[in-house]
């Protein structure tokens, strides 16, 4: 059995480091959803919107935090990620959720683990 080759995650072509956890969430979006009198759902399928749930390891250095901050600072960015359902890397435009970075050790400039979600701008085609 082969492992996952290549980088797990890149933002604007730059590898994302410091990952502790990488979760893939397949979200299907529907419009005009309603149930008729028989209880059947009637809706328009809009597509799959894969969300990435990221957790970064405890003890991040000041330099690591600076790189991550720069990568996540744009309102939207290109993300190349491993799609487990396809078994290959996919590239799409994403934006991020809010996140909080907490200081772990001031003297050594280390930071606590934190999480951030990457949310797609458009459906996966």
pLDDT one-digit tens code per residue, 8-67:
999 999 999 999 999 999 999 999 888 888 888 889 999 999 999 999 999 999 999 999
CB 76 within 8 A of CB 97: no
Quote the pTM value: 0.89
Q: pLDDT category, 1, cuts 50, 70, 90?
A: low
Where does the chain have alpha helices with state H?
A: 62-72
41 CB-near residues (< 8 Å, 6+ apart): 33, 34, 35
Give the H/E segment covering residue 4: none
116 CB-near residues (< 8 Å, 6+ apart): 54, 56, 72, 96, 97, 99
Burial class (CB in 10 A: 0-12, 13-18, 19+), 120: buried
């Amino acid at each position: 059995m082969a492992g996952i080759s290549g980088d797990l995650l890149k933002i604007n072509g730059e590898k994302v480091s410091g990952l502790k956890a990488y979760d893939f969430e397949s979200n299907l979006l529907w419009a005009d959803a309603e149930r008729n009198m028989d209880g059947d759902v009637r809706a328009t399928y809009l597509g799959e919107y894969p969300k990435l749930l990221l957790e970064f390891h405890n003890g991040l250095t000041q330099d690591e935090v600076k790189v991550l901050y720069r990568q996540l600072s744009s309102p939207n960015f290109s993300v190349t990620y491993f799609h487990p359902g396809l078994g290959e890397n996919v590239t799409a435009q994403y934006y991020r959720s809010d996140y909080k970075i907490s200081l772990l050790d001031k003297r050594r400039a280390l930071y606590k683990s934190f999480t951030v979600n990457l949310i797609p701008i458009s459906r996966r085609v």
